[in-house]
């Protein structure tokens, strides 16, 4: 059985081609651009920037080094964090003391955030809980490579608001 479609000139060439639908879509797009849609997007983005970000528990934020009661770094220079790091972005230098950590001296502790994958393996590998990622600060994009390298002083002073340099979880 065959069907016959009657195209006896009811539709013009403009309606049969997709030019008419294309022009209608273009008119809608131009109206949205000039009706202030761009301003609403900008306002919404500014409101989202000002809104307080609530991070989930266990979120791995920027690193920090903890100190002991004598205000010295807790790190015993055991190199466990540097060995556990898959991206090899941690450099620990110093003199290792006794097994209990007494007599150890931390000379340099450097983390390159440009290489860091924020996996948290360094934190879980540390036997004395000297390194944490609980600052609550999101890693901010930097324009200079030097700004992405955190040294010992930066890590010791990288505390979240209201946190002390001593750990409360002992």
Residue 169, pLDDT > 60, answer no
39 and 81 housed in the same domain: no
| pLDDT at residue 170 is higher than 60 | no
Q: Is residue 68, in this structure, part of any structural domain at all?
A: yes
Q: What is the dihedral of CA 53, 59, 64, 68, to 10 degrees?
A: 120
Q: Is the pLDDT of residue 54 over 70?
A: yes
- Same domain for 21 and 82, yes or no, is no
94/143 same-domain check: yes
Which domain does 36 fall in, by range? 13-50
Report the domain count for the chain: 2
Same domain? For 119 and 90 the reply is yes
- Averaged confidence pLDDT in the chain: 81
Statement to judge: residues 148 and 68 lie in one domain: yes
d(CA 81, CA 89): 10
Pairwise pLDDT comparison (10 vs 138), residue with the higher score: 138
User: Residue 112 maps to which CATH number?
Assistant: 3.30.70.3270
**142 in the same domain as 72:** yes
Indicate the range of 34-38, 70-74, 117-121, 132-136 predicted with least confidence.
34-38
- Reduced to 3 states (helix: H, G, I; strand: E, B; else coil), residue 134 is coil
pLDDT confidence bin for 112, thresholds 50/70/90:
very high
120, part of any domain: yes
Report residue 39's pLDDT band, with 50, 70 and 90 as the boundaries. Answer: low
Same structural domain, 132 and 71: yes
CB 91 within 8 A of CB 126: no
pLDDT class of 59 with cuts at 50, 70, 90:
confident
Give the pLDDT confidence of 128-166 residue by residue, as tens digits.
999 999 888 877 778 888 989 999 999 998 877 666 555
Asked whether residue 79 is assigned to any structural domain, the reply reads yes
Instruction: Indicate if 20 and 82 belong to the same structural domain.
Output: no
């Amino acid at each position: 059985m065959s069907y016959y479609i009657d195209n006896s000139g009811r539709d013009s060439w403009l309606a049969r081609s997709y030019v008419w639908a294309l022009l209608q879509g273009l008119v809608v797009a131009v109206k949205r651009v000039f009706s202030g849609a761009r301003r609403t997007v900008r306002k919404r983005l500014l409101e989202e920037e000002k809104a307080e970000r609530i991070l989930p528990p266990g979120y791995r934020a920027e690193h920090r080094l903890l100190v002991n009661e004598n205000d010295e770094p807790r790190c015993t220079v055991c190199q466990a964090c540097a060995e556990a790091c898959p991206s090899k972005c941690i450099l620990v230098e110093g003199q290792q003391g006794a097994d209990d950590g007494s007599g150890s001296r931390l000379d340099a502790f450097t983390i390159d955030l440009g290489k860091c994958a924020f996996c948290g393996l360094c934190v879980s590998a540390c036997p004395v809980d000297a390194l944490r990622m609980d600052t609550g600060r999101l890693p901010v994009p930097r324009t200079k490579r030097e700004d992405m390298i955190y040294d010992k002083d930066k890590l010791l002073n990288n505390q979240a608001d209201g946190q002390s340099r001593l750990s409360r979880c002992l």
